[in-house]
Amino acid sequence: MSADRRRRPHPVVAVAVCVVLALLAVLAVRHFVVQPFRVPSASMAPTLEVGDVLLADRTTAGTAARGDVVVLDGTGYFAPSSADGGRYWVKRVIAVGGDTVSCCGQDGAILLNGEPLEEPYLPQGMAPSTIEFDLRVPEGRMFVLGDNRSDSTDSRHLLGAPGGGMIPVERVVGRADRIVWPPPRGSAL
């Protein structure tokens, strides 16, 4: 046997190394690129239904733009602690730092910076809000609402709490980009 000849790894060792590398790749993608979340409630219906699985774009963590559907960490805001369940919430960003938002204008629409907000995602016949508010969103914060306003705990319900219903943008885990399950509902958001 020649001294230059390399020893091949045992097939079991080679498979184990491949499995470990694949798991590390999956964990890296989940932590840095996309993360799946299951929708637990009807607060975003009809855009998102109970049981839908969506992918949150982790590359957008800590950012928010008006109209985005985001996954956010609601611990201390919507849920007193992560032990209460419901750590992650899916909501639509209505206003960001510097915006004024109020409910409601003469035609019943939410006003964003003094202009009626077009909300084609609301369920047919649903009022934009039954809770009145008039506020300015501080820099670094966002005002979020569920699309199904009659069945959504959102910024309106925290108006008297510390922070006044405005969630820190740094709490955004990622923008919800796509429904991936069930297959018939699979689509971009």
By annotation, the residues acting in catalysis are 43, 91
Q: Please, which residues have CB within 8 angstroms of residue 40's CB and are 6 or more apart in sequence?
A: 50, 86
> How far, in Å, CA of 100 to CA of 24, rounded?
44
Distances (CA, A) of 125 to 24, 43, 107, 122: 48, 16, 13, 8
Nearest to 41 by CA among 28, 52, 26, 29: 52
